[in-house]
Amino acid sequence: MELRDTVALVTGGLSGLGRATAQKLAESATHVVVLDLPREDGDEIAAQIAANVRYVPADVTQAEDVAAAVQRATELGHLRTVVNCAGVATPGKVLGREGVIPLQKFAKVLEINVTGTFNVVRLAAEAMAHSEAVVDANGTSERGVIINTASVAAFDGQIGQPAYAASKGAVAAMTLPLARELAAHQIRVMTIAPGIFHTPMMDGLPQAAQDSLGAQVPHPSRLGRPDEYADLVAHIVANPMLNGETIRLDGAIRMAPR
């Protein structure tokens, strides 16, 4: 699908995978709306990404926030691409040093990663379904593409990751039923499951720890770069046969128990 003269929406778009994705999409899309939690420097960061990037403060778990962001995107033009990068990776063992994990801690991860993702999907799909379809040079008709973010933890969950693994497993599991349903509206749905990537969360670790994590990747033996995630997003948008699937982007890593 061509991105020219279209609008893209990226959640978690001010940092990490989301920021790289917003920057990549801004090279082709007319407008990119980045949805992220409220922060005073949001507009400034968006301007640093690209001149055609706009920031909308929102919490993905709040229906009103996301509806407002989708409305803002549609006011700028046809919303054709949505990429869900917002999420948390809060660790927690079932039986930790301070006792059994609080149920709310588990529920919060699912609320953000699963409910938040679905909240964006449902409202974006509604907007896309009411837009005019576009036909590419090969005669393929489309209204939009939705790309969600899972994780290799969905398949190789480590000790201390029951909430995170469950949430990312749910994101991967909803991919096919969403793609099957939204096919009637000519909307594709895909999911990317990244391995170990260099995101702001990694910056809090010592360099030796980062190097050790990168060395666990068979090839290339390093941390993934956010722009490599963004490159895959761009290819998914461009390739109409990519639909209803979760792609591991991980350098062939299979996570150890801990």
In which band, very low, low, confident or very high, does the pLDDT at 258 lie, cut at 50, 70 and 90? Answer: confident
Band of the pLDDT at 45, cuts 50, 70, 90?
very high
Q: What's the average model confidence in pLDDT over 200-207?
A: 75
| C-alpha pair distances (Å), 248 with each of 15, 235, 241 | 21, 14, 17
pTM above 0.85, yes or no: yes
- Check: CB of residue 81 under 8 Å from CB of residue 33: no
H/E segment holding residue 108: helix 103-110
Per-residue confidence (pLDDT) for residue 11, from 0 to 100: 98
Mean pLDDT score, 94-119: 96
Q: Which CATH number fits domain 7-249: 3.40.50.720, 3.40.50.620, 3.40.50.300, 3.50.50.60?
A: 3.40.50.720
% of residues, the chain, pLDDT over 70: 99
- Span 79-106, pLDDT tens digits: 999 999 999 999 999 999 999 999 999 9
Share of the chain above pLDDT 90, in %: 84
Q: Residue 2: pLDDT band by 50, 70, 90 thresholds?
A: confident
Contact by Cβ (8 Å): 143, 187: yes
The C-alpha atoms of residue 197 and residue 178 are separated, in whole angstroms, by 27
Among candidate residues 55, 106, 118, 164, the one labeled active-site is: 164
Please compute the mean of the pLDDT values over residues 117-134 and round it to a whole number.
96
- 205 confidence band (pLDDT: 50, 70, 90): low
**Residue 212 has what pLDDT?**
82
Answer yes or no: 164 catalytic. yes
- pLDDT score of 206 more than 80: no
pLDDT for res 60: 98
Residue 167 confidence (pLDDT) above 90: yes
- Paired with 95 in beta bridges are 100
Question: SS3 for 219?
Answer: coil
Average pLDDT of 161-182? 97
More confident residue, 142 or 208: 142
CA distance 23 to 147: 16
The domain limits of the chain are 7-249
Q: Residue 172 — pLDDT band, cuts 50, 70, 90?
A: very high
How would you classify residue 253: left for phi > 0, otherwise alpha for psi between -120 and 50, otherwise beta?
Answer: beta
pLDDT at 252 over 90: yes
Where b means 16+ CB within 10 Å and e means fewer, 22-43 reads bbbbbebbebbbbbbeeeeebe
105 vs 43, 71, 91, 166, CA distance in Å? 31, 32, 9, 13
pLDDT at 201: 73
Q: Which residue has the tokens 């060395």?
A: 215
